[in-house]
């Protein structure tokens, strides 16, 4: 059993320390069924002390169910959860000492900010002075000093969610669980609050797991992303690994925009239309033979002027659409040599100013081989799944 007798635990966590070889959290072989429906299958994951993990995936892939199982709010059908080597698989939620923050602010409307925050400390047998000192520490952390007498209705959505965050971390939880905490907020507030949550988590040395279906949120906040699909873990990696070296077409299509190009691999060479490359080492696998799909991010695609007589290392294409994205231009082109498929290239505003591109222009599309990502053509249906 975990020690639940602590009262005035400092907000700043000290970390598990090097002596403890067991991971902070070990999730092993979790299965979850709802009746005959299988919501999670054989999910395993280690979370290190102080890490910020994001569960990322489309609606219904099982992210919240997994988080609820970690919290103890849902019981798994198989598998175990260990924290620092202790089996907590069957502990009730309160004994796990995890802080939870949900999408809806879930503040008590009849309690003011102070009362809402200290609500989480009610079972801690803390003295009045300790409670006051923690309250002020928290109000400072969430930037709401002076608002302790306000009621939730007098606060904006972002402020309410900060109060809910303060309430969740007030008892100095061992682990902070966040279930889509930002999705009810408008875009600007969301970006600001995700920085605040991340700063606060780092400053306090908290370990945190957040559920999101927003890939930008996951990439910008997480130390590691757990990409989930249909009840299973598809890939675990740092944001840059997930973005640049996806291990399936599903991950490639779900995280950011990808150009999907038909290709062929034979004898260690990848051909895309008239272009030919060595297969990138990471994707030179037994499955990647014959018909394949080659992927490239729009910002990796290069465009250059094309003379009618030469294509060389570029695929001839024609510009059909231009979209201004603020910091970049998204250029859509059709490529006759690839069956008139559409591709997109993102050009920085500076690139565009230096060499303007207009609708109707014929351009050469250059594919930097080191940035190509390759999957078997049999994964094609995963693209539809990822963008649904």
Ligand X SMILES: Nc1ncnc2c1ncn2[C@@H]1O[C@H](COP(=O)(O)OP(=O)(O)OP(=O)(O)O)[C@@H](O)[C@H]1O
Binding of ligand X by 60 (CB under 6 A): yes
- Taking the alpha carbons of 345, 349, 355, 356 in that order, is the dihedral positive or negative? positive
Give me the least distance between CB of 103 and ligand X, in Å please.
9
Contact string (CB under 6 A) for ligand X, positions 13-52, x = contact = ---------------------x--x-x-------------
Q: How far apart are CA 200 and CA 204, in angstroms?
A: 6
Count of residues of this chain found to bind ligand X when the rule CB under 6 A is applied: 12
The closest of 64, 47, 46 to 56, measured between CA atoms, is 64
Binding of ligand X by 76 (CB under 6 A): no
Could you write out the three-class secondary structure of 73-114? Answer: CCCCCEEEEEECCEECCCCCHHHHCEEEECCCCCCCCCCCHH
Give me the least distance between CB of 231 and ligand X, in Å please.
7
- Binding segment for ligand X (CB under 6 A), chosen from 1-9, 56-64, 306-314, 355-363, is 56-64
Binding of ligand X by 104 (CB under 6 A): no
Give me the least distance between CB of 55 and ligand X, in Å please.
8
227 φ, ψ (degrees, to nearest 5): -85, 125
CA 94 to chain centre: 27
Cβ nearer to ligand X, comparing 62 with 171: 62
Buried b (16+ CB within 10 A) or exposed e, 88-103: bbebeeeebbbbbbbb
Alpha helices in the chain (DSSP H): 63-71, 93-96, 113-119, 128-141, 157-169, 187-204, 215-221, 239-244, 249-254, 349-354, 381-387
265 in Cβ contact with 279 (< 8 Å): yes
Give me the least distance between CB of 62 and ligand X, in Å please.
4
Binding of ligand X by 210 (CB under 6 A): no
Of 64, 97, 207, 288, the residue at the interface with ligand X (CB under 6 A) is 64
Contact string (CB under 6 A) for ligand X, positions 162-201, x = contact = ----------------------------------------
Of 24, 27, 43, 57, the residue at the interface with ligand X (CB under 6 A) is 57
Binding of ligand X by 213 (CB under 6 A): yes
Cβ nearer to ligand X, comparing 32 with 134: 32
Binding of ligand X by 258 (CB under 6 A): no
Binding of ligand X by 215 (CB under 6 A): no
Q: How far apart are CA 346 and CA 371, in angstroms?
A: 15
Binding of ligand X by 324 (CB under 6 A): no
Which residue shows structure tokens 């005959």?
36
Binding of ligand X by 134 (CB under 6 A): no
CA 146 to chain centre: 34
Which residue shows structure tokens 């925050």?
117
3-state secondary structure of 32: strand
Give me the least distance between CB of 316 and ligand X, in Å please.
42
Binding of ligand X by 59 (CB under 6 A): yes
Binding of ligand X by 331 (CB under 6 A): no
Tokens at residue 23, please? Answer: 């991971």
Cβ nearer to ligand X, comparing 185 with 294: 185
- Binding segment for ligand X (CB under 6 A), chosen from 62-70, 146-154, 286-294, 295-303, is 62-70
Rule CB under 6 A: which residues touch ligand X?
Answer: 34, 37, 39, 57, 59-65, 213
């Amino acid at each position: 059993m975990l020690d639940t007798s602590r009262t005035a635990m400092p907000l700043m966590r000290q970390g598990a320390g090097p002596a403890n070889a067991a991971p902070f959290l070990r999730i092993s072989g979790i299965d979850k069924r709802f009746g005959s429906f299988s919501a999670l299958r054989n999910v395993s994951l280690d979370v290190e002390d102080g890490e910020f993990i994001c569960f990322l995936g489309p609606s219904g892939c099982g992210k919240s169910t997994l988080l609820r199982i970690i919290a103890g709010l849902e019981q798994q059908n198989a598998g175990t959860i260990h924290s620092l080597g202790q089996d907590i698989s069957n502990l009730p939620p309160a004994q796990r000492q995890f802080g939870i923050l949900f999408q809806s602010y879930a503040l008590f409307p009849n309690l003011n900010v102070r009362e809402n925050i200290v609500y989480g400390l009610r079972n801690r047998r803390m003295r009045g002075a300790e409670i006051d000192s923690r309250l002020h520490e928290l109000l400072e952390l969430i930037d709401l000093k002076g608002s302790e007498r306000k009621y939730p209705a007098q606060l904006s959505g972002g402020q309410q969610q900060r109060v809910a965050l303060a309430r969740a971390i007030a008892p100095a939880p061992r682990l902070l669980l966040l279930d889509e905490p930002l999705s009810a907020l408008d875009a600007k507030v969301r970006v600001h609050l995700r920085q605040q949550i991340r700063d606060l988590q780092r400053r306090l040395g908290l370990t945190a797991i957040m559920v999101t279906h927003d890939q930008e949120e996951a990439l910008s906040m997480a130390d590691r992303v757990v990409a989930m699909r249909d009840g299973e873990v598809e890939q675990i990696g740092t944001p840059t690994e997930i973005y640049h070296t996806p291990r399936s077409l599903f991950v490639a299509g779900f995280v950011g925009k990808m150009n999907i190009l038909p290709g062929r691999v034979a004898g260690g060479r990848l051909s895309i239309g008239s272009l030919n490359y060595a297969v990138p080492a990471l994707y030179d696998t037994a499955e990647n033979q014959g018909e394949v799909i080659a992927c490239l991010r729009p910002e990796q695609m290069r465009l250059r002027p094309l003379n009618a007589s030469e294509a060389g290392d570029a695929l001839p294409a024609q510009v059909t659409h231009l979209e201004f994205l603020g910091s970049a231009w998204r250029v859509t082109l059709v490529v006759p040599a690839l069956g008139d498929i559409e591709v997109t290239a993102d050009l920085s505003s500076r690139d565009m100013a230096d060499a303007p591109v207009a609708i109707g222009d014929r351009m050469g599309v250059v594919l930097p081989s080191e940035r190509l990502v390759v999957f078997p053509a049999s994964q094609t249906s995963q693209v539809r799944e990822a963008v649904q």
